Structure 1
Amino acid sequence: MTQTQYPCANCGANVEFAPGTTVLKCPYCGAETPLAPTGQQIREHSYAQFAGLPRKPVATVAPHVFTCKGCGAITQSDKISDRCQFCGAPLVADVSSGDMVMPEAVLPFGVDRPALREALKAWTSSRWFAPNGLKKVTTAESSHSTYLPHWTYDARTVSNYWGERGDHYWVTETYTEDGETRTRQVQKTRWSSASGTVARDFDDVLITGTTRVAPKHLDKLEPWPLPESEPYRPEYLAGHETLRYDVEPESGLETAKSRMAPIIEGDCRDDIGGDEQRVHQVDTQYGDVTFKLMLLPVWIACYLHAGKTYNILVNGRTGEVAGERPYSAAKIAAAVIAAILVIVVIVVLIAMNKQS
């Protein structure tokens, strides 16, 4: 397995991609190497053509074997980019062998470590009832920058539906109350069968390509500024970890369809019209399906409290923060006691006012 390292033209150390810039920067002497435009374009790949190609399941692909050009150490990793476990030099694997789907696009890191600290500081300060130790996460050196694989899918959909349309109408009912005969207006619904066809084009339906990070946290990092993505080039990965996908594109497409389904059903309800709708069946045809693999930037920080590890994720482009946090029993108890005291004071003041 071949890999790429980028030596500094000034001191010979390995340079890294600097978040928020278009340069590779040496962490030792500070020299910068601009990334020259490549003229490449981000491409969408036909899913129909891809489905017929022979390909190894990702679970059977061997780990990358990195040989550090700096210290000569050999590192095995299933990551596309990593660091030498001995000297810390950045390593980027050559993924053009054809064993796996190559990344087509990358959203480069825009949040550097100082900006990360500010984002975490704002997040921890807004966590009520969190232990005071949570503030330490803002300076945690365990945080690391990681590109996470994602699939995007485009599709032209045509859906035939069958359901019912409900139209409200009012009737006058007579009833007896307290010995008197009265009338009232009651809403009823008249149901009629409905069917039709709706069409919608989907663009860049985003599906997580890794099972190593909880989707519930990744979803909270959205939206991603996908239009700011760049054509894939290994230089963006230098100095940052990059997970390879473990969700096959076929599974990703099925998840994408499940994301499209409620939107399509909403289109069906709009097409049915009326005051209420019932959708009994929707048959959808997916045409011109295209996809690509792209890498999205995430800072991952870990926080240890009471023997349990909590993970915090930060969108490496926008600074959005999501993750788990512990709760302080002492702070919760203090808040409850304070609330009780406030209630007692209010009751006492009301009683005193009544006596006076």
Structure 2
Amino acid sequence: MSDPDTTGPATARSYPCQSCGASLEYAPATNAMRCPYCKQGQPIAPAARGVREHGYAELAQMPLKPREAAEAARLFICPGCQARTESDTLSERCQFCATPLVADAGATERITPEAVVPFGIDRNGARAALRTWTSSRWFAPSTLKRVTEAETFKGSYLPYWTYDADTVSDYTGQRGDHYWETETYTVTTNGESRTETREIMRTRWSHASGTVSRAFDDVLVAGTTRVASKQLEKLTPWPLDEAIPYQEQYLAGFQTVRYDIEPEDGLDLAKEQMSPVIRADCRDDIGGDEQRVHSVDTRYSGLSFKLVLLPVWFLSYLHGGRSWNVMVNAHTGEVIGQRPYSTAKILAVTLTAVAIVTVVTLILIRNSAR
């Protein structure tokens, strides 16, 4: 591995191939780096330590990095050709010689990554996932099934916060128990009245209060605003149990997005995810047939967090003169994104449905006229 460049505004590491001298890249679904030219492999040594959680109280000792450091992190100096590449990422490629560059996160980041879920599928695997996805889209144009290559194809690690917490929640509410009453009513038919009865379900409400507890593990919150959180949620689930201790070699050859959501703000988002789970626990504790939860007061203890990097393939393909964007979970192969619709197919299905309804209606009319 080349030594970090400490004279420039940012450190950048590359990993030369011992066989041909080209730069090694991480090989997805392995624990090794590989030369894209001579295919020589080099194992990644196991990390010296395991994945650690930060106690939330540690944040007070983690001040924000000075503005100068943040600005310096935007500039990579390539150890190969000495070119300077502006970027706000932790890993990138040299814009001149395409050497994979990895920044020293500890020199610029307030909090460095603790874990990474490495890429589990390579470009070919992502293309296969795209083909399966495009061929299974309802009302998609037939030509969409011939999409096999992406016009742009980029693998990126995205930053996520995970939070652990023990919670104890005091609640107040109401318990609803159903019971049945016999109701008497009058029915008039052909001028004659008669009395009938029916069973009516009622609900008896009573005060309820109590305490519930739950331990949360690895509540996941996106640490970047560069991709819409609603879109990222569709890429779940993530195999966090397969996360390994962070090592820079896993970033080589891929872009790594820096976090722009601080852990304090991420905790607020994590609590929003915990809230409906806690309220469901309150309803279960209340019991009965129906529940109303009026108030919940939650105390948090044992708070901890970590920064983990998760892999995504970003794809764009051309169809009908337009670019369509897709994301692939680079570990599970889950695909989400935009797709075109075939107006002709939608119209054909609509006309078929109308024809069926018309035929059924005519049959019913004919039968009722007999």
TM superposition score category, shorter chain reference: over 0.9
User: Which residue of structure 2 aligns with residue 142 of structure 1?
Assistant: 152
User: Which residue of structure 2 aligns with residue 33 of structure 1?
Assistant: 42
SS in 2 for 1:289: strand
Q: How does 1:331-342 map to 2 (within 5 A)?
A: 331-340=345-354
Q: 2-side partners of 1:194 and 1:347: how far apart?
A: 53
Instruction: State the TM-score, normalized to the length of structure 2.
Output: 0.89
List gaps (5 residues or longer) in structure 2: 1-9
User: Which residue of structure 1 aligns with residue 338 of structure 2?
Assistant: 324
The amino acid that maps onto 2:56 is Y
- In structure 2, the CA distance between the partners of 1:59 and 1:310, relative to structure 1 (3 Å rule), is farther
1:187, distance to aligned residue in structure 2 (A): 1.3
Determine if contact 2:129/2:334 at 8 Å carries over to the other structure.
yes
Determine if contact 1:64/1:93 at 8 Å carries over to the other structure.
no
Q: How does 1:249-268 map to 2 (within 5 A)?
A: 249-268=263-282
Encode CA deviations 1:297-343: one digit per residue, 9 max, x unaligned: 00010134456543211110111111121222233223334445566
User: Which residue of structure 1 aligns with residue 23 of structure 2?
Assistant: 14
1:183 aligns with 2:221: no
User: Which residue of structure 2 aligns with residue 96 of structure 1?
Assistant: 106
SS in 2 for 1:332: helix
1:60, distance to aligned residue in structure 2 (A): 8.5
Q: 2-side partners of 1:351 and 1:184: how far apart?
A: 34
Q: 2-side partners of 1:60 and 1:171: how far apart?
A: 73
User: Which residue of structure 1 aligns with residue 327 of structure 2?
Assistant: 313
User: Which residue of structure 1 aligns with residue 14 of structure 2?
Assistant: 5
The amino acid that maps onto 1:104 is E
- Per mean C-alpha deviation after superposition, the further-off stretch among 7-16 and 333-342 is 333-342
Q: 2-side partners of 1:26 and 1:55: how far apart?
A: 37
User: Which residue of structure 2 aligns with residue 44 of structure 1?
Assistant: 53
1:135, distance to aligned residue in structure 2 (A): 3.9
Determine if contact 2:90/2:103 at 8 Å carries over to the other structure.
yes
Determine if contact 2:13/2:79 at 8 Å carries over to the other structure.
no
The amino acid that maps onto 2:251 is L
Q: 2-side partners of 1:28 and 1:115: how far apart?
A: 20
1:214, distance to aligned residue in structure 2 (A): 2.0
1:100, distance to aligned residue in structure 2 (A): 2.2
Encode CA deviations 1:248-273: one digit per residue, 9 max, x unaligned: 11111101000000000000011111
SS in 1 for 2:22: coil
1:204, distance to aligned residue in structure 2 (A): 0.1
Determine if contact 2:149/2:317 at 8 Å carries over to the other structure.
no
User: Which residue of structure 1 aligns with residue 123 of structure 2?
Assistant: 113
User: Which residue of structure 2 aligns with residue 205 of structure 1?
Assistant: 219
- In structure 2, the CA distance between the partners of 1:339 and 1:174, relative to structure 1 (3 Å rule), is closer
RMSD (CA atoms): 2.5
Q: 2-side partners of 1:309 and 1:257: how far apart?
A: 37
Q: How does 1:193-232 map to 2 (within 5 A)?
A: 193-232=207-246
The amino acid that maps onto 1:245 is Y
Q: 2-side partners of 1:145 and 1:95: how far apart?
A: 19
Determine if contact 1:58/1:100 at 8 Å carries over to the other structure.
no
Percentage of identical aligned residues: 56
Q: 2-side partners of 1:198 and 1:348: how far apart?
A: 60
SS in 2 for 1:97: helix
User: Of the candidates 86, 94, 105, which is equivalent to residue 76 of structure 1?
Assistant: 86
Encode CA deviations 1:7-59: one digit per residue, 9 max, x unaligned: 00000000100001111000011100011212320000011221453224899
Encode CA deviations 1:209-230: one digit per residue, 9 max, x unaligned: 1111122222111111111111
- Per mean C-alpha deviation after superposition, the further-off stretch among 299-308 and 224-233 is 299-308
Q: 2-side partners of 1:295 and 1:331: how far apart?
A: 41
User: Which residue of structure 1 aligns with residue 175 of structure 2?
Assistant: 165
- In structure 2, the CA distance between the partners of 1:261 and 1:27, relative to structure 1 (3 Å rule), is same
- Per mean C-alpha deviation after superposition, the further-off stretch among 145-154 and 185-194 is 185-194
Give the number of equivalent residue pairs: 354
Determine if contact 1:134/1:303 at 8 Å carries over to the other structure.
no
Determine if contact 2:69/2:108 at 8 Å carries over to the other structure.
no
Determine if contact 1:137/1:301 at 8 Å carries over to the other structure.
no
1:67, distance to aligned residue in structure 2 (A): 1.2
The amino acid that maps onto 1:76 is E
Determine if contact 1:166/1:275 at 8 Å carries over to the other structure.
yes
1:288 aligns with 2:302: yes
The amino acid that maps onto 1:302 is S
Determine if contact 2:70/2:108 at 8 Å carries over to the other structure.
no
Q: 1-side partners of 2:32 and 2:147: how far apart?
A: 28
